[in-house]
Amino acid sequence: MSRVYDAAVIGAGIGGSAAAMALAGQGWDVLLLDGRRFPRHKVCGEFLSPESRSMLESLGFREAVAALSPAELTHARLYWGGGPPLEVALPGRAIGVSRQAMDPALHAEVRRAGAEVLTETAVTAVGREKEAYRVETKCGGATRVFRARAVIGAWGGGPSRLSEVRAADSSYVGVKAHFGGVAMEPAVELFVFPGGYLGMAPVEGGGVNVAALLHQEAFAAAGAEAGAGRGPGAAGLLLEAAGRHPQLREKLAAAAPLPGTEAAIVPNLRRRPQAWGSFAHVGDACVTIPPLCGDGMSMALRSALLCTRLADGFLRGSLTEEQWRRQYERGLHREFAGPLRWGTCSNRCSPGRRSRDPSCVSPAACRSCRSGCSTLRG
């Protein structure tokens, strides 16, 4: 009889790796699949808040992340308009580490925990087959079928090529690149300007991660050139964005993009979590919060931990799949309704959304958003 895994996790980003690690740590036979090659760069703030770092450590990733020599971060600064920044001390130790370095390190730990990890293995179909799911995959020219009692989707939040930007159903494009030549204190910094907002944080090796969410209408000309392969790509969009904020322009005046670090994505910014399709979803496959609240990796980890606690009950026979679904949907609503509401509100109020004048949002609104989003948890 062919092997039947206890769980198959589709997508090996931070949410998928966390889900696979949690289930493997509970003794389950786990398969982690991803269609992409690693290591690779992703659009991400690459900022691990105290909450995110604590959750990774609780899963058993402490030594793997520490071995990457991440940058230490102590403060957060919000630049809204041309005035002085709103600065807060982070409530604990935060770090900056690239996804290119961290994702493969997490995969190695998941393997050590006993799970099977297959990258460059694209899932082409998932269907029910008696008491298990049938997971069809393709690797190179070969096809392979796996079976699992449970499936968790962790495939991220949208198309990942600039050439797909104009065809995607989104008003925004996310871009990121690493830069050298940027003087940075141990802080994560966020700049809001006409057409979007941009975050910066030091990462391992002395580079600085620069990532932005840009309104496609405001950056249509540059985005169209980049999407057609004629323009400067993600780094060029970031430098154009820097020209729209005086302090950011000064900050990046001597910056040089580091080769091979660019990435782009068209995010699906949902107002409600999509906890379940044909099976459970975690991470950005479940919910993508507007990055202005800085909660992305934390929310991916929280959804993975919530989902796998219930998946463990299902696999042990104490929950039906329907009970798992209902409890997970309720739990996600409790966890994320507030942050999603604050994030959506802040996104609507950002200059790139309704007004090209940053003064349309008061300092009190900035403080409210910051407070509601729990001081950039991750």
**pLDDT tens digits, residue range 231-245?**
458 898 899 889 889
pLDDT classification of 357: cutoffs 50, 70, 90: very low
pLDDT at 65: 98
Strand 172-180 and strand 187-193: the pairing is unpaired
Share of the chain above pLDDT 90, in %: 63
pLDDT of residue 228: 43
Give the number of other Cβ atoms within 10 Å of residue 346's Cβ: 25
- Report the largest interatomic distance among the alpha carbons of the chain, rounded to a whole angstrom: 68
Half-sphere exposure of 35 (CA within 13 A, CB side): 14
Given a cut of 60, is residue 375 above it in pLDDT? no
> Does position 361 have pLDDT exceeding 50, yes or no?
no
Return the residue matching tokens 């975050």: 199
What is the rounded distance in angstroms from the CA atom of residue 153 to the CA atom of residue 34?
A: 11
pLDDT attached to residue 295: 64
Between 34 and 359, the higher pLDDT residue: 34
The dihedral formed by the CA atoms of 116, 20, 130 and 135, expressed in degrees to the nearest 10:
-60
Helix axes 363-372, 321-349, angle to 10 degrees: 160
Going from the C-alpha of 157 to that of each of 4, 168, 252, 300, the distances in angstroms are 28, 12, 28, 11
Q: Is residue 144 predicted with pLDDT exceeding 50?
A: yes
**Rounded Cα distance, 222 and 227, in Å:** 9
Check whether the bond before 91 is cis (ω within 30° of 0).
no
What DSSP string describes 228-272? TT-S-HHHHHHHHHHTTSHHHHHHTTT-EEPTT--EEE-----SS
User: CATH number of the domain at 4-72+97-158+269-341, please?
Assistant: 3.50.50.60
Q: What is the pLDDT of residue 5?
A: 99
According to the model, what pLDDT value does residue 165 have?
A: 40
HEC sequence for 294-321: CCHHHHHHHHHHHHHHHHHHHHHCCCCH
Ramachandran angles phi, psi of 312, nearest 5°: -60, -40
Q: How large is the average pLDDT for residues 111-116? A: 98
Report the pLDDT value the prediction gives residue 2, as an integer from 0 to 100.
83
Q: What is the pLDDT of residue 354?
A: 42
Q: What is the pLDDT of residue 162?
A: 39
Mean pLDDT of the chain: 84
DSSP-assigned beta bridge partners for residue 210? 177, 200
Range from 33-47, 116-130, 131-145, 153-167 carrying the lowest mean pLDDT: 153-167
**Is the pLDDT assigned to residue 272 strictly greater than 80?**
no
Q: Is the predicted pLDDT of residue 259 greater than 80, yes or no?
A: yes
CB 159, CB 266: distance < 8 Å = yes
Q: For the whole prediction, is pTM greater than 0.85? A: yes
Q: Is the pLDDT of residue 366 over 70?
A: no
> What is the structure's pLDDT at 359?
36
At 10, give phi and psi (nearest 5°).
-105, 105
Q: Phi, psi (5° rounding) for residue 296?
A: -60, -55
Residue 159: the pLDDT is 46
Q: Give yes or no for residue 33 having a pLDDT over 50.
A: yes
Query: Comparing C-alpha atoms, which of 269, 278, 240, 279 is closest to residue 336?
Result: 269
Mean pLDDT along residues 72-94: 91
- Please report the pLDDT score of residue 339 as a whole number: 62
Comparing 339 with 193, the larger pLDDT belongs to 193
> Which range is least confidently modeled, 144-158, 200-214, 361-375?
361-375
Average pLDDT over residues 118-145: 95
- pLDDT band at residue 349 using 50, 70 and 90 as cut-offs: low
Query: Comparing 367 with 153, which gets the higher pLDDT?
Result: 153
CB 282, CB 19: distance < 8 Å: yes
* Local confidence band at 364 (pLDDT 50, 70, 90 cut-offs): very low
- Token readout for 207 is 């580079």
**In this predicted model, which residue has the larger pLDDT, 376 or 85?**
85
pLDDT digits (tens, 9 = 90+) for 182-230: 999 999 999 998 888 899 999 999 999 999 988 877 776 555 444 444 4
Q: How confident is the model at residue 345 (pLDDT cuts 50, 70, 90)?
A: low
Tell me which residue has tokens 């992703």: 42
pLDDT in tens, 86-108: 999 999 999 999 999 999 999 99
